Structures are given as structure tokens and as C-alpha cells.
Structure 1
Amino acid sequence: MTSESWLKIIQNAKITVLIEDGKRKVHFLFENGKEMVEEYNMDTNVVVRRLWKKKNNFGTDIGWIVEIGEPEPKENNIEKDGIQESSNTPFVTQRITKTCLEWRIRNLPYPSNVYSVTAEEDNTITVRTSNKKYFKKLKVLDLERIGLKPEQERISFKHQYNTLIITYKKPLELLNVEKKILSRILQFKPIESTNQCPVS
């Protein structure tokens, strides 16, 4: 996909905008039937949350999957599942700033000198530890949608408070796409909130 084709998909989507809880919430219904919701900070116009409506192989809705922002809290039902996920398991969240994409991998207690973070040929950013305790491939969907590959020189990372923070400096092409999408969204007059937004 190229930046032009992603912008065309956005251009052709049915877009609904409302202001709720101090955020601009935008619902996209794409021509292929897929749905996406983005929440924007009203002051910065930066996406603070992005979710996609997912279906299983039988076409049944299985809810909203978080791409950007904090995940929905998990309910551990030991009686139902027979297993409870450890609260110490590493987990990844992604956020966006004006100039960077950022991932936070929490519950990584290893010292900062064991981590390597590399841009890979398969369009991922890969996290490894030299002690072989952790390995993770991170998809960079914001780049993938506009046909770009991650570049090593744009990656930086630091480790603090058991959290690995990975920062990717946005290329000009992505900044331009974000600007055009925001311009498209701002053309829509927000509807009055009736608490019927697809995602609260």
C-alpha cells in the first residue's frame, strides 16, 4: 500500500465525528465493511487511541481490538479458563506523539545493556535480549499502511522502571499523511453525543 492509496481509503470512508469526554472521537466505516475508531486529544490533535472492530472466521463480531493506547483491562476467570495470566508477564502498548511512534514494553526487569532493538527486512522492529529471556517483533502499522519500512537510524530506546521505551522518529511522509487525515476529519461537524458512539 502507498500513502496515496491509504489516503484514498480514508477519503472514501463514511466518517462520523463526535466530541465526548474532552476528546474528538472519529468513527470510520470503510468501503470493505471494516470499522476503525480514533480518539484525538483536543489540544494537540494527536491520536491517543485507535481501535479496530474484529470478526472471527465465521464473520461474527468479536469486539474492538486496541492498536494505539492502553488495552482494555482483562478479566481473569479462573473457573472458566482454568488458568490465570501472571501479572508479571511482559506486555506491549503503543502510543503516538506529534513527532514519534512509541512502544512501551512493561515488566521487563533485565538490565538496560541486554536489549537490542533493530529494524528488520520483514518490516518489523525486533526486540531481543542477549540473555535470551525476551524476543518480540513489533509491527509498525502506521508505516506499513503507507508503504514504508522502518529505518534503523530513526529508532532509539531506553529502559527504566522495568519498562523498555522504544521511540521511532516519524518520517516526513507519515507526518504529511497524518496532516491530510486530520484535515479531512476537521471538515466534519461533530454530532451531539448521545452515548451511542461505537466505543466508549
Structure 2
Amino acid sequence: MAVQRWSELLKSSKKTALISDGKRKVHYLFADGSEMAEEYDMRTDELVSRQLRSKTKLGGAGQWQVEVGEAKPSAVLSTETEIKENISNPVFMRKDTKASFQWRVRNIPYPLDTYSISVEPSERCCIIRTTNKKYFKKFSIPDLDRCQLPLESAALSFSHANNTLIISYKKPREVLTLEQELMRELKKLKGTNEGDVDCKTQ
């Protein structure tokens, strides 16, 4: 079963933890050389960010890909006009809760009935469309892909407030169980405090 395979991959990976700014930061190194970095809120145990990277064809470290959380803005912005444009463009990001995978599209001011969000099981993705043709987005749910679980239309819901479209997909029972098991494992890790590391280097 794919859920079991992913669970075993996580358990067998080399994990290191760091406690900093109220977050538990965990780094996973898998047998094939690929890596995953996650941050959890210490208070709620909610996943704050997740990034993954694989080895390049030449064996070097690839670029980090943001799966959950906000991508760090590019440091190079050539002109002021570019900055102004970026501020008003819709921003798509994933920000999960304990019970749901969740995505937010910020800077999207249209009323709720403008949006149509559908699950496309054959393509293994969800699609956001607007009746005014101003926004279109296709996105997958990697967690379900890794566990080879089906996409269900009934799990999807959405709302709109403060110029932000919020899309929720209820986590299947298998994913919730896996996440609870993983959190128990992570809490057993001897996480060093960032403060401790600083003390040693002084």
C-alpha cells in the first residue's frame, strides 16, 4: 500500500531537528539523496512550511521547491514598476490546517459566485476558474499523490474574504493517521535549540 511505503520512507530517512522561534524545524535526508525540510508550530503542531529538493542529473543539489508556506520573494527586483506589479498580482500559496489541505489566492477581489473550483481525478489535480476569465490555476495535492489516494470532489470547499480565495480539501483518514504517527516520531527527536548552537560557537 502506497501510504505504508511513504510512511516507511519517512521513518527510514535520516532526520535532524532544530527548535527555533517557537518552531520545530525538521530536515529529512532520504536514501536517494533527496531532501525535505519542514517547519511546525510548536504550540499547535501545525505544519507551517515544507520544501523539497532532489539531486540533479549530475549529482549536485537541486533547487528547493516550496510545497507548503510562502516562497521567499526573489532578492533581485530590477525596477520599481516590477515591485508595484507584484503587489497587485494574485498570489497562490498553500497553508494547511490540522484537518485540511488549504490554499489561498491573495489579491483576488471578485465575488464568491465568480469562482468555480473542480477536482479532475483523471489529471490528479484541482482547477480554479473564474467566470470573468481573469484567473485560471491548476494545482495538484502532492500528499495524495505520494500516498496514491484518490481525489474526491466532496472533500473540496471554498470561501472568499478580504480579497482572498480560500480553498480547503478535507484530509483523508489515511493522511491524518500518517501525520499523527509522524508527529509522535518527530517529538521523540532530540531537537537542539538554536540558542544552544550559538552558545557553543561563542
TM-score interval for Structure 1 and Structure 2 normalised by the shorter chain:
0.7 to 0.9
Any conservation in 2 of the 1:66–1:72 contact (CA below 8 Å)? no
Structure 1 residues 54 and 34: CA distance shift in structure 2, 3 A: closer
Letter paired with 2:174: E
Q: Is residue 2:172 matched to residue 1:171?
A: yes
SS at match of 1:19: strand
Query: Aligned pair in 2 of structure 1 residues 54, 105: CA closer, same or farther (>3 Å)?
Result: farther
Distance apart, 1:175 and its partner CA? 0.3
Contact map agreement 1:76 1:84 (CA 8 A) in 2 = no
Mark the CA change 1:42 to 1:192 in structure 2 (over 3 Å): closer, same or farther: closer
How is 1:134-173 mapped onto 2 (pairs within 5 angstroms)? 134-173=135-174
What secondary structure sits across from 2:5 in the alignment?
helix
Contact kept, 8 Å, 1:154 with 1:169, in 2: the verdict is yes
Match of 2:32 in 1: 32
Q: Which structure 2 residues correspond to residues 7-86 of structure 1 after superposition, within 5 A?
A: 7-53=7-53, 58-78=58-78, 84=82, 86=85
AA in 2 matched with 1:16: T
- CA–CA distance in structure 1, aligned partners of residues 10 and 62 of structure 2: 23
- CA shift digits 1:110-166 (9 cap, x unpaired): 222110111112111110112222111111112111111221111111112221110
Please give the alpha-carbon distance, in whole angstroms, between the structure 2 residues aligned to 1:192 and 1:159: 39
Unaligned runs of 5+ in 1: 196-200
TM-score by length of 2: 0.86
How far is the alpha carbon of 1:5 from its aligned partner? 0.7
The number of aligned residues is 192
Describe how 1:173-188 pairs up with structure 2 within 5 A. Answer: 173-188=174-189
Name the SS of the counterpart of 1:110 in structure 2.
coil
Q: What secondary structure is seen at the aligned counterpart in 2 of 1:132?
A: coil
Change (3 A) 1:62 1:31: closer
Instruction: Report the counterpart of residue 133 of structure 2 in structure 1.
Output: 132
- Deviation digits for residues 34-83 of structure 1, max 9, x if unmatched? 1111111112212111112355555544543321112202234327xxx9
Q: CA RMSD in A?
A: 2.1
* In 2, Cα distance between equivalents of 1:113 and 1:143: 28
> Aligned partners of 1:45, 1:109: CA distance in 2, in Å?
32
C-alpha separation between the residues in 1 aligned to 2:65 and 2:54? 7
Specify every segment of 5 or more residues in structure 2 that has no aligned partner in the other structure, as ranges. none
How big is the shift at 1:89? Answer: 1.9
Q: Does 1:92 align with 2:92?
A: yes
Q: Could you say what secondary structure the match of 2:182 adopts?
A: helix
Q: Structure 1 counterpart of 2:71, which letter?
A: P
Give the CA deviation at 1:93.
0.8
Q: Secondary structure at the match of 2:177?
A: helix
Q: Distance in 2 between matches of 1:28 and 1:156?
A: 32
Seen in structure 2, the aligned counterparts of structure 1 residues 95 and 153 have a Cα distance that, compared at 3 Å, is: same
Cα distance in 2, alignment partners of residues 34 and 103 from structure 1: 25
